[in-house]
Chains A and B, each alone.
Chain A
């Protein structure tokens, strides 16, 4: 008899959800939270939703197997997705398979990174994806389960088993799920997917291997430059991966902060320039041992300063969230890229 791991379809005696979850945990399929049962009938419904994307998947590192669409759908079913969410989850999977995303490195690292999934375009409203208050938090099925589906795909298809292939020192709650929508309606600049060359009517998923959101609280500043001073101070972190493993980062501006910055004439480019200049880390905040290591691995300071990325272009900016004087900084793994993929349906 073939080992269960080698079977695409598995015959099981009928069992309830509790028994299935015990079985799934034994197979190593679980993220620790309850799973739905990926029956043939449920998987078939999900597969029907992705007829617009017939391209084969490349081998998925680190495990280097070529996934079937049914295996990906099984993970989305288990995550609690509705069938109509599945094209978003598969687009996210294509994003993390961009070679420059460095999936192997981001899954195997000791760093705490998790795949950040941001959704742009009209599909946010069709699927009721939260872009406003508490957009990084709980309470929305689409946000919760699309991010979770990608996490389960990376666990089961890519092989990122915690403590085995996934060597993260402490992990990160965002590894359960990290999915939100852009607040395009309150973005006074250009929606992120349009910044990336897509049409406003395109539905796009953007992924980056990031830490969880770091809060940028500023209730006091009433000017754009005041807000950017606070943002840059929060970004200036000698413990960030990007101080030596140069790479991208996101600044997700809350709508109230965005309105102030727009009123004071800031553009995406001028905000990037200001944040770049002001977020540098002074050498007095970096240990001698780390300075030695950076010097021997080609990460030399610029005068008395270390930058937290390669250039202002590493700072990706958009708007999400609801009322309140908060924004967020999401640093990346470092050796990775931001990948944006059109959702095919």
Chain B
């Protein structure tokens, strides 16, 4: 017998290819982004402290979404893209 696959779909044609540029983890600016759930900020503070043992931390900054349940707003994404070479996300839960 022949059946239709209930999970079949086509790849989104508009998917953009992203070219990742190399990151220098010793010097580049890094965004530490919290999803605003409890303990996300604490987790990122620990990450920043650990990184501090290996590099300068002045250009490692904390950012946050206003709502864990919503996508990051465009201005936040733009800020990360403009000012940072890497972003680390903490999903507190």
A residues neighboring B (CB under 8 Å): 4-15, 27-29, 37-40, 43, 59-60, 63-68, 70-71, 73-75, 78, 102, 104-105, 109-111, 152, 156-157, 241, 245, 289, 293, 296-298, 333-336
Contacts and interface: CB of A to CB of B under 8 A. Distances in A.
B3 interface: yes
B9 A38 contact: no
Interface of B: 1-15, 36, 38, 64, 66-71, 93
B67 A156 contact: no
B11 A66 contact: yes
B9 A60 contact: yes
A345 B93 CA distance: 43
Given A8-B5, A78-B6, 12 more contacts: A4-B5, A9-B3, A9-B4, A10-B2, A10-B5, A12-B3, A27-B7, A59-B12, A71-B7, A104-B71, A241-B69, A245-B68
B9 A67 contact: yes
5 contacts: A43-B4, A65-B11, A67-B8, A68-B10, A245-B68
Contacts of B64: 297
Given A59-B12, A335-B70, A5 B5 contact: yes
B2 A68 contact: no
Contacts of A110: 93
Given A59-B12, A64-B12, A40 B66 contact: no
Main secondary structure of the interface of B (DSSP, over half): loop
Contacts of A13: 1
Contacts of B67: 245, 297, 334-335
Contacts of A289: 38
Given A65-B12, A66-B11, A335-B67, A156 B6 contact: yes
Contacts of B5: 4-5, 7-10, 71, 74
Nearest to A64: B12
A169 to B, nearest CB: 9
Chain A CB within 10 A, most for which of B10, B11, B14: B10
B15 A64 contact: yes
B9 A68 contact: yes
Contacts of A59: 12, 14
B2 A12 contact: yes
Given A65-B11, A65-B12, A37 B66 contact: no
Contact of B1 (A12, A68, A109, A334): A12
Given A14-B1, A39-B1, A71-B4, A65 B10 contact: yes
B7 A156 contact: yes
A99 B15 CA distance: 17
Nearest to A169: B93
B4 A152 contact: no
A180 B36 CA distance: 35
B6 A75 contact: yes
B77 to A, nearest CB: 15
B52 to A, nearest CB: 23
Contact of B3 (A28, A38, A109, A334): A38
Given A11-B2, A40-B2, A293-B38, A66 B7 contact: no
A138 B71 CA distance: 36
B66 A297 contact: yes
Contacts of A104: 71
